[in-house]
Amino acid sequence: MNTLSAPASLCYLNGEFLLLANARISPLDRGFLFGDGAYEVIPCYARKPLRLAEHLLRLVNTLEGIRLPNPHHAGEWAEIIAKVLDGNPWDNQSIYLQVTRGAPPARKHTFPENTPPTVFLMSEQLTTPSIEQFNAGASAISASDDRWLHCDFKTVSLIANCLLKQRAQDANCIEIILFRDGFLTEASSSNVFAVRNDVLLAPPRNHLILPGITYDLVLELAARHNIPHEVRAITEYEARTADELWVTSSTKEILPITTLDGQPVGNGRVGAMAHKMYALYQDFKHTLILHG
Ligand code: PDD
């Protein structure tokens, strides 16, 4: 693949729909200079966004958290997303959406005045893990969570996450599972669930983790299908001795971690609860595909 040229896919930039290869922003853009912006990744199946309202609500929360006005109301976002989905060749797409604090005439840390935000939206083909990959499970390493204390904001300042994810890749692992002060938080680009004694455990939804849309959906499915679950602080010991560990995200869906730091998780195989939740999640997706 030629990594220098962008694919000929349709994107949106500041009011225009154009080919990604032709999209240009200023080097003074605060997203580029300061990582000053918010983003979302929205999975779309059969060109239908999964949990769009929830993604847009999280965007609003991040924008409020970083004091950046939302440039569009929900209806406008939905229209832009629909046009980008229509203009691209894949049935299943991952919509990437980003708002930055724009490109003022000079580099200054404080927020600029009279500077419109930069609004960018692109699409990639969405390839979620196959059933074979799910059944094989995946390996992870662990690290101490040394990110900032606003992991609940989905900002484009992602160097801490990138450094962590690279460590996982260097170790031939899919993810790096993070612990802060002796408790499980999340992973570099996913949330983490544990299963102990047939109870699904999720870390609390606070400033230390991203409130994942998949995380919420998994908990909703657990409640709807009477799967015992608890949202509470999970100690590092409990995570390391769990029967099952999963990572979840919009692009990974539900992926069982069967090896952590070279040690088997539980019996080292994909657990019964993971199989059950995977089936419920796939059913939920198919309902969206069939009925919108
Ligand atoms: N990442 N935690 C972090 C740090 C994440 O970056 C993500 C998602 C999640 C899962 O959130 P959701 O279920 O809403 O996808 C948790 C996206 C996919 C990314 O940055 O590409």
Here the contacts of 166-172 (C-beta below 8 Å, separation 24 or greater) are 167/141, 167/143, 168/140, 168/141, 171/141, 172/139
Shortest CA distance to 253 belongs to which of 153, 88, 130?
130
280 pLDDT above the threshold of 80: yes
Which of 48, 154, 165, 252 is catalytic? The answer is: 154
CA atoms within 13 A on the CB side of 218: 33
Q: Is residue 35 assigned to a domain?
A: yes
pTM of the model: 0.96
Of 4-8, 56-60, 150-154, 271-275, the range with the lowest mean pLDDT is 4-8
119 pLDDT above the threshold of 80: yes
253 lines ligand 1 (CB under 6 A): no
- Report the CATH number that the domain containing residue 91 is assigned in CATH: 3.30.470.10
118 pLDDT above the threshold of 50: yes
Across the chain, mean pLDDT equals 96
210 lines ligand 1 (CB under 6 A): yes
204 pLDDT above the threshold of 70: yes
Distances (CA, A) of 170 to 114, 139, 258: 44, 12, 18
Among protein residues, the one whose CA lies closest to atom 11 of ligand 1: 212
Distance CA 234, CA 185 (A): 8
Q: Does residue 77 share a domain with residue 210?
A: no
> What kind and span of H or E run contains 45?
strand 37-45
Distance CA 158, CA 169 (A): 16
Distance CA 100, CA 118 (A): 5
Question: What is the per-residue pLDDT for 1?
Answer: 42
190 lines ligand 1 (CB under 6 A): yes
Question: In the listed set 84, 102, 125, which residue is the last one of a domain according to the structure?
Answer: 125
Q: Is residue 3 assigned to a domain?
A: no
Ligand 1: centre distance to CA 215 (Å) = 10
Question: What is the per-residue pLDDT for 6?
Answer: 58
Question: In the listed set 99, 125, 151, which residue is the last one of a domain according to the structure?
Answer: 125
pLDDT confidence bin for 3, thresholds 50/70/90: very low
Q: Does residue 39 share a domain with residue 148?
A: no
5 pLDDT above the threshold of 60: no
Question: What is the per-residue pLDDT for 261?
Answer: 98
Question: In the listed set 108, 125, 142, which residue is the last one of a domain according to the structure?
Answer: 125
Question: What is the per-residue pLDDT for 233?
Answer: 98
pLDDT confidence bin for 290, thresholds 50/70/90: confident
- Boundaries of domain holding 105: 10-125
Q: How many structural domains are present in the chain?
A: 2
Q: Which of 51, 178, 210 to mutate to test the pocket of ligand 1 (most atoms within 8 A of CB)?
A: 210
191 lines ligand 1 (CB under 6 A): yes
4 pLDDT above the threshold of 90: no
- The token duo for 273 is 């609860």
Q: Does residue 106 share a domain with residue 181?
A: no
Q: Does residue 228 share a domain with residue 114?
A: no
Q: Is residue 4 assigned to a domain?
A: no
Ligand 1: centre distance to CA 189 (Å) = 5
Contact 195, 271 (CB under 8 A): yes
SS3 at position 217: helix
Q: Is residue 2 assigned to a domain?
A: no
Distance CA 236, CA 225 (A): 28
Contact 116, 102 (CB under 8 A): yes
The total of other beta-carbon atoms located within 10 Å of residue 117's CB is: 23
Contact 258, 268 (CB under 8 A): yes
Distance CA 220, CA 224 (A): 6
Q: Which of 41, 206, 246 to mutate to test the pocket of ligand 1 (most atoms within 8 A of CB)?
A: 41
- Residue 188 alpha carbon, nearest atom of ligand 1: 4
Among protein residues, the one whose CA lies closest to atom 1 of ligand 1: 189
DSSP 8-state symbol, 167: H
Of 115-119, 178-182, 285-289, the range with the lowest mean pLDDT is 285-289
Query: Which residues make Cβ contacts (< 8 Å) with residue 196, sequence separation at least 6?
Result: 238, 241, 242, 243
212 lines ligand 1 (CB under 6 A): yes
- Residue 96 alpha carbon, nearest atom of ligand 1: 21
Q: Does residue 223 share a domain with residue 195?
A: yes
214 lines ligand 1 (CB under 6 A): yes
Is 285 tagged catalytic? no
Mean pLDDT over residues 144-161, rounded? 98
The model's pLDDT over 41-74, given as tens digits with 9 standing for 90+, comes to 999 999 999 999 999 999 999 999 999 999 999 9
Ligand 1: centre distance to CA 128 (Å) = 14
Contact 78, 40 (CB under 8 A): no
Mean pLDDT over residues 112-126, rounded? 98
Question: What is the per-residue pLDDT for 79?
Answer: 98
- Report the CATH number that the domain containing residue 181 is assigned in CATH: 3.20.10.10
Q: Is residue 251 assigned to a domain?
A: yes
- The token duo for 152 is 């609940």
Q: Does residue 225 share a domain with residue 108?
A: no
Contact 245, 260 (CB under 8 A): yes
Ligand 1: centre distance to CA 105 (Å) = 33
Q: Is residue 1 assigned to a domain?
A: no
- Residue 209 alpha carbon, nearest atom of ligand 1: 2
Mean pLDDT over residues 73-99, rounded? 98
292 pLDDT above the threshold of 80: no
Among protein residues, the one whose CA lies closest to atom 9 of ligand 1: 190
Distances (CA, A) of 231 to 83, 108, 239, 255, 273: 38, 42, 14, 19, 16
Of 2-16, 51-65, 161-175, 269-283, the range with the lowest mean pLDDT is 2-16
